[in-house]
Chains A and B, each alone.
Chain A
Amino acid sequence: MSAHAATAHGHATHEHHDLGFLRTYVFSTDHKMIAKQFLFMGLFMFVIGGLLALLVRWQLAWPETPVPGLAGILTETGGVLEPSQYNMAFTMHATIMVFFVIMPILAGAFGNFCIPLMIGARDMAFPTLNMLSFWTTFTAGLVMLAGFFVPGGHAAAGWTSYAPLSSVVQYTGVNWGQNIWCISLFTMGIGSMMGSINYITTVINMRAPGMSLFRMPLVVWSLFITAILLLLALPVLTSGVAMLLFDRWLGTSWFLPSGGGEPLLWQHLFWYFGHPEVYILILPAMGIASEILPVFSRKPIFGYHAMAFSMIAIAFLSWIVYGHHMFVSGMNPALGMAFMVTTMIIAVPSAIKTFNWLGTLWGGRIQFTVPMLNALAFVSMFVIGGLSGIFMASTPVDIYIQDTYFIVAHIHYVVFGGSIFGAFAAIYFWFPKMFGRLTNTALGHLHFWPSFVFFNLTFFPMHIIGVGGQMRRIYNPLQYEFLQHQQHWNVIITIGAIGLGISQIPFIVNFFWSMVAGKPAPLNPWNSTTLEWTAASPPPHLNWGPTLPTVYRGPYEYSVPEESADFSPQTQPPRAVAGARRH
């Protein structure tokens, strides 16, 4: 229906919202459309980041053999990856996964989708800024991808881009690739700043009547806290990246000792951003799990306030632990000791969360739906990843395992086992509301179970080879005698990784097929209590009809004794209080 036709039908009484294709699907200011845009972007980048990981894995399992399908691209070597290309592969794998997969999906897509709908707002506080935020991030993504096509190849100094390796062209031979890495992250920083300002303002100012802070669903809490972390952490990276560009372009010496610079300065700046960043990656997933576990246990979340406060605690503590990435960097060892103490402390709020999730399951009526399975996978895999973090937190142990595959195992248990399973859970859970259609359950199981098994097959053995001493970021483990005997693990891991990749195919099929041909979704398919399920599926522009929902109770009122239904929506006034007040 074009704008013209609508007018012809005489909707004179109210403003109409037929904005045409461009304004509806491309330059949309509607938070739900922007959420979908972030989601598509993130999923697309996930395929690229994943395929890069498979490149890495191929090289590690069968070093210096032609990678299938690459003979046409790497013509000079007949498909064999060169060391510099290997470095480029894992650098871009990690950069893409962290900045252009997890952040867009968790903070971008679900931040946009959940915040207004779950606090009962019609849109974000600044819809246009919201649109700009997406397009800035999108541009950053394009710039990052463009780096693959410049002479000299893409950045190859690791996702951490330690100076001076990254600050002097001769050290890696990469010129434009590293510049593009900097420019892209600079742009991304601006984009996510716009987003986070928007989220914070929206949560503070735009809540529906009755939606007090402690009636907000925990996923909104988590996104709110994530936004604050993003807002404060990314500018630090931005400043570091600007210095790096100065060094590269103007010949200055922020990080070069010969000109009075300090190489460790980059590490301090990077990790001061980088550690809050890893919690930016996990907090939304924690929120998502806290959302999904109660729904499918038909039970209120265990310890709502503890859940909210532990996230706040994590956010605070995340600023003072960053030095645990630098235990053996040459930083003052006394500082290392201080960072060990704070790092140990930051495990406590995670412990609280873990046990509260278990408490939520206890005595529930657990329904093993696909989102629930993914949320349970999140909890269990996060526990494994978190526990491996304790090894590194202990400074003496970290001396040995730093920069080994033990760290790589830790990374992937928290980011894939944690964040990505969290993202899957969220996609399956909110898909009906997002697209108005149900996903296919059989395909969902076909995605979940192989993913779960192959995930563990891929990443669990990394602990073993890490303890055996295999370093990360090495091109060919067979160059080392002490690693020869565990090469079979590398083969197993790679087979697992390929299986993990193939397991994503049912997901992709399910996602797109359900989007166009899934069964139409009812308003509230999971019998959930939060506000988004009171809007139409998918919710129209401005989300609700003329009146906004009014909130009468907390977000997790399942199986309330006096009430017959096993869920009591937030909009439903408590019967016992009709008229009278408690106290």
Chain B
Amino acid sequence: MKNIFKFLLFLIIAVTQLGCESDEICLEDITPKLVIRFYNANIPSELKSVALLKVNIGGIDGEYSNETITNLTDSIAIPLQVIENKTRFILTLQGNSNQGTEDNIDTLSVSYVQQDIFVSRSCGYKTVFNEAEASFVKDDDNWIKGLEEKNDPLEIIDENAAHVKIYH
């Protein structure tokens, strides 16, 4: 009978020390990025990839890069600033010295209102962007020919579909 006591005590200690922390990894969607798709300016229904695109975010040093921005892509996802209610993206179409082209810098501005939403223990809070407006700065030589918001008013709440179409 004493052995039963000992066994039960062992069992209780063992189980209380087990920490099954299966909600420790964040698997839910966090703050959505801005998804841009590139279309052909001449044939608006046709996707057109951009080659050698460089993305910088106003106020942040360094070039933004991730798997969505490769050498040839028709769709990119880039993060929006959460410390302020607007983000300036410097989208550079890099030139090629062999073809005699130079870098072409265009600026895309997005303004929005943020709404913080609780997700889970491991993911914490995300923010979603409501009442968003996107525009690009016109200059003498834009590579961006046109811009279209997918929805009006534009809400950036997930990354399932493009938010902005860029014609070039």
Decide whether A and B assemble into one complex. Answer: no
